[in-house]
Structure 1
Amino acid sequence: MAQCGIPFDKPANLLIPAEGGTWREGIVFHPTLGHSAGHMSISIRSRGEEAIFSGDVMHNPIQVCRPEWNSTFCLDAASARSSRHGLLNYAADLRCDALHRAFPADIGGAGEAGRGRIRMAVRSSRAMTLP
């Protein structure tokens, strides 16, 4: 861990703000409740680019098109829906990459907002558009 420049030998260096927020320069925790209590997504900014790692906000690529759809894994359905909408809007507004651990490798990419729609361009040259 010494290679990353953050000394993890001190407990204070491991504390993550419970309400979300900036942890270190360029690393922000975003509350994305619903899947589990205290769930957070993490955005990382470097060299003028940003990516957000969704964690378990979504479990299936269809939830990009239908963020209102929950899976059986959502602890709090209303919060899960709100978190998905918020994460997708965040990615679209900032045109940052949204990366999802539960998706196949070719799903993910930059978001773009416009006229009440969110468009996610995916690596396989397919596109999903939210109504």
Structure 2
Amino acid sequence: MHPHASAPAATWTLGDITVHRVDEIALPPQTGPWLLPGATPQVVSQHPWLKPSFADESGVLRLASHTFALIAGGRRVLIDTGIGNAKPRANPAWHGLDTDYLTRLAAIGFTPESVDLVVMTHLHTDHVGWNTTAHEGSWVPTFPRARYLTTRTEWDFWSSTELDEPRAQMFRDSIHPVRDAGLLDVVDMPPAGGAPIAPGLTLVPTPGHTPGHVAVRLDSRGAEGLVTGDCIHHPVQLADTGLGSCVDIDPGLAASTRRALLAEVADTDTLVLGSHFPAPAAGHVVTQGDAYRFVPAGDRHVSSSRGAGA
């Protein structure tokens, strides 16, 4: 068995949309203290519901790298593409990976040639890696028939920013080959509301982590879901909405965005799918005191409402 092999993809159904969680890797324990430095073991211990699903008994957060795959309006869609294989990365946990991610995609019917749309919630290294794969000494688009979407705000920000070498490397191997192949689409977001991109799929502006960050709203036959991207990294941020990531570009805006999003989905049937939440990664936000908690839906469970999936 491949060293990163896993069980069949978890799935949830929202109306006519079936969402698959496609695993890449579980992130190492040191990820939590680096990414969310305010989420100390002492903070975690104040919220017993976080253990053992979302933190270990010592209070260290559990995080994962996975993507979401779905079919909407007959189109095969990927939301983010993870870290990728064989990429040179400064972060040791991301460097030179060798996972069977593409095999897992193919197992649910998403061969590279069949993917129609790749949504990049933002242009960070661990969300764009499988945009490309190595071929004869070059990086080429993994999904040759797909359109790759990012927002204009996101594209313009990074295009005008002086990049450090690790991020410049990421753009060289995972973004520029897509652009050079003519597959990149830059989406202009409306002044208010979201941008529909396919039947039942809408990009929702969630700035702060990066300027043009988006979440993805799913809506089919009255059932709703929301893929968070990195506006929420971990369920501990429901318990303490002020906890920010060390890589938030605008921490204050990230916190206000997170609070507004949580208030919108709390105590509703909206299935929240966390882009770095540990398995099962999907569930519902419920009010607890002056904050929230996360009630997970069952792994490999088909769910269209809180009553069925909690």
TM-score (norm 2): 0.34
- The equivalent residue for 2:297 is 123
Distance in structure 1 (CA, Å) of the matches to 2:292 and 2:236: 14
* Aligned partner of 2:205 among 12, 26, 31: 31
Pick one of 85, 98, 104 that aligns with 2:272: 98
Cα distance in 1 for residues equivalent to 2:236 and 2:215: 19
Matches within 5 A, 1:69-108: 69-92=243-266, 94-108=268-282
- Inter-CA distance 21–4: structure 2 relative to 1 (3 Å threshold): same
1-structure distance, mates of 2:286, 2:233:
21
Aligned with residue 44 of structure 1, among 200, 218, 230: 218
Closer, same or farther in 2 for the Cα pair 1:4/1:32, shift >3 Å? Answer: same
- Partner of residue 21, structure 1: 194
Residue 113 of structure 1: how far off its partner (Å): 4.9
Deviation at 1:70, TM superposition (A): 0.7
**Farther off after superposition, 32-41 or 88-97:** 88-97
Q: Structure 1 stretch 25-34 or stretch 89-98: which is displaced more? A: 89-98
Secondary structure at the residue paired with 2:266?
A: helix
Higher-Rg member (1/2): 2
Instruction: State the shift of 1:66 in Å.
Output: 0.9
Work out the number of aligned pairs and report it. Answer: 121
The answer to whether the 8 A contact 2:275-2:281 is kept is no
Q: Secondary structure at the match of 1:88?
A: helix
CA distance in 2, matches of 1:91, 1:16: 25
> Residues 112 and 95 (structure 1 numbering): CA distance in 2 closer, same or farther, change over 3 Å?
farther
Q: What amino acid is aligned across from residue 271 of structure 2 in structure 1?
A: D
| Paired letter, 1:62 | V
Q: Deviation at 1:120?
A: 2.9
Contact 2:216–2:226 (CA<8 Å) still a contact in 1? yes
Q: Structure 2: give runs of 5+ residues left out of the alignment.
A: 1-70, 77-115, 118-145, 148-181, 299-310
| More moved, 42-51 vs 113-122 | 113-122
Equivalent position amino acid for 2:187 in 1: I
Match of 1:4 among 49, 59, 75: 75
Report deviation, 1:106: 2.8
Task: Give the TM-score of the pair, scaled to structure 1.
Answer: 0.73
Alpha carbons of 1:72 and 1:114: their partners in 2 closer, same or farther (altered >3 Å)? closer
Change (3 A) 1:116 1:81: same
* Distance of 1:46 and 1:37 partners within structure 2: 28
3-state DSSP of counterpart to 1:89 = helix
Q: What's the Cα RMSD here?
A: 3.2
Judge conservation of contact 1:95–1:112 (CA < 8 Å) in 2. no
Shift of 1:121: 1.4
Which of 39, 42, 55 pairs up with 2:229? 55
Amino acid at match of 2:194: G
**Matches of 1:28 and 1:17 in 2, distance apart?**
13
Q: Alpha-carbon deviation of 1:16?
A: 3.0
Q: Give the Å deviation of 1:89.
A: 1.6
